[in-house]
């Protein structure tokens, strides 16, 4: 039995689909039954769990041969770091009490850095707490998800402007489709030929992009001109607050982009590097509202 935490998300659902397609038993862990509807149609066993409750996590781990761990950043939480640290603590305690033979942890580019990465420091904490507990641990560090640009699409479609925290606009950065991360995770979970120990794998898309590239691709997909705009540093925090992020969450985001823009976040030298196959244009087309291309 392979247990997938966060199975209703873009990555988890792709992992579950790939594993079920290969004929493996999958226990899909979700927060509520509604999230499990599509996964049940794939033939997954649906399990409900609260990552802030150790007993709940321990229950879904029973009988697991392999586990895919995801500790999601709590959206709308006034103190997301504190909540995520509690999730990590609960998950690691449950794994220590009932260790499966293999664990794959979904992580981020830059998780090896000791400080200054904002929200990525939470994945640094996850990795460090898992390392002494699991004998066979794979860290799958993903580049920025292409789907994350969906957050700014309402602004883009209403104004024709793509605001970017990536500075300068010409800076090329790694990004990856969430479904490619999920499919690779499934392959790594099934890789019995890898010796027991710690394995670090990084994944990004077919090519790196800049904010200018994103705007150009959006223009092509939508059928009207979209211009990239370098959001001034002093506007980051108020903009994130208007988007509904708490003060603590906004700080985590600004710290991350400061470090990213300084060029300190990339593939760790000792990591295996893999590449997804999904192009940015495919993802953007899939996340646009159905009427977005009507005004060509």
pLDDT of 295 strictly over 50: no
pLDDT of 3 strictly over 90: yes
CATH of the domain at 47: 3.40.50.720
Give residues with Cβ within 8 angstroms of 191, minimum separation 6. none
Q: In which band, very low, low, confident or very high, does the pLDDT at 193 lie, cut at 50, 70 and 90?
A: low
Domain assignment present for residue 133? The answer is yes
The 8-class DSSP code of residue 195 comes to P
pLDDT, one tens digit per residue, over 264-290 is 999 999 999 999 999 999 999 999 886
Q: What is the pLDDT of residue 66?
A: 96
Domain assignment present for residue 226? The answer is no
Domain assignment present for residue 257? The answer is no
Share of the chain above pLDDT 70, in %: 97
Q: Do the beta carbons of residue 180 and residue 205 sit within 8 Å?
A: yes
Q: Do the beta carbons of residue 252 and residue 81 sit within 8 Å?
A: yes
Q: What is the pLDDT of residue 233?
A: 97
Mean pLDDT of 168-197: 92
Mean pLDDT of 38-63: 94
pTM given for the model: 0.94
Half-sphere exposure (Cβ direction) of 79: Cα atoms closer than 13 Å: 5
The H or E element containing residue 274 is: strand 272-275
Q: In which band, very low, low, confident or very high, does the pLDDT at 73 lie, cut at 50, 70 and 90?
A: confident
Residue 117, Cβ density class (10 Å: 0-12 exposed, 13-18 middle, ≥19 buried):
buried
Domain count, the chain: 1
pLDDT, one tens digit per residue, over 196-215 is 789 999 999 999 999 999 99
Half-sphere exposure (Cβ direction) of 163: Cα atoms closer than 13 Å: 15
Count of CB atoms within 10 A of residue 3's CB? Answer: 25
Domain assignment present for residue 13? The answer is yes
Mean pLDDT of 32-38: 90
Domain assignment present for residue 225? The answer is no
Q: Do the beta carbons of residue 165 and residue 236 sit within 8 Å?
A: yes
Cα 254 to Cα 233: distance, rounded to the nearest angstrom: 9
Give residues with Cβ within 8 angstroms of 260, minimum separation 6. 110, 166, 173
Domain assignment present for residue 196? The answer is yes
Domain assignment present for residue 35? The answer is yes
Average pLDDT, the chain: 93
- Domain range enclosing 52: 2-145+176-204+266-278
Phi, psi of 47 (to 5 degrees): -130, 135
């Amino acid at each position: 039995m392979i247990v997938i935490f966060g199975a209703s998300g873009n990555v988890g659902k792709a992992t579950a689909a790939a594993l079920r397609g290969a004929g493996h038993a999958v226990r899909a862990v979700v927060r509520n039954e509604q999230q499990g509807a599509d996964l049940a149609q794939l033939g997954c066993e649906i399990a409900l769990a609260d990552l802030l409750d150790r007993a709940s996590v321990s229950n879904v781990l029973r009988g697991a041969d392999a586990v895919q761990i995801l500790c999601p950043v709590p959206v709308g939480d006034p103190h997301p770091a504190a909540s995520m640290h509690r999730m990590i603590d609960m998950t690691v305690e449950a794994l220590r009490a009932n260790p499966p033979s293999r664990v794959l942890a979904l992580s981020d580019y830059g998780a090896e850095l000791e400080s200054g990465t904002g929200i990525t420091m939470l994945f640094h904490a996850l990795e460090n707490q898992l390392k002494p507990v699991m004998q066979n641990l794979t860290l799958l560090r993903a580049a920025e998800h292409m789907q994350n640009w969906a957050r700014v699409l309402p602004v883009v479609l209403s104004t024709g402007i793509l605001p970017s925290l990536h500075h300068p606009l010409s800076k090329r950065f790694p990004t990856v489709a969430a479904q490619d991360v999920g499919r690779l995770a499934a392959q790594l979970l099934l890789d019995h030929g890898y010796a027991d120990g710690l394995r670090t794998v990084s994944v990004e898309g077919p090519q790196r992009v800049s904010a200018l590239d994103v705007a150009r691709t959006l223009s092509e997909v939508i059928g009207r001109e979209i211009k990239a705009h370098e959001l001034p540093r002093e506007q980051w925090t108020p903009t994130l607050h208007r988007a509904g992020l708490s003060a603590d969450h906004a700080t985590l985001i600004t710290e991350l982009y400061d470090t990213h823009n300084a060029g300190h976040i990339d593939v760790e030298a000792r990591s295996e590097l893999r590449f997804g196959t999904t192009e940015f244009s495919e993802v953007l087309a899939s996340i646009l509202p159905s009427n977005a291309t009507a005004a060509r």
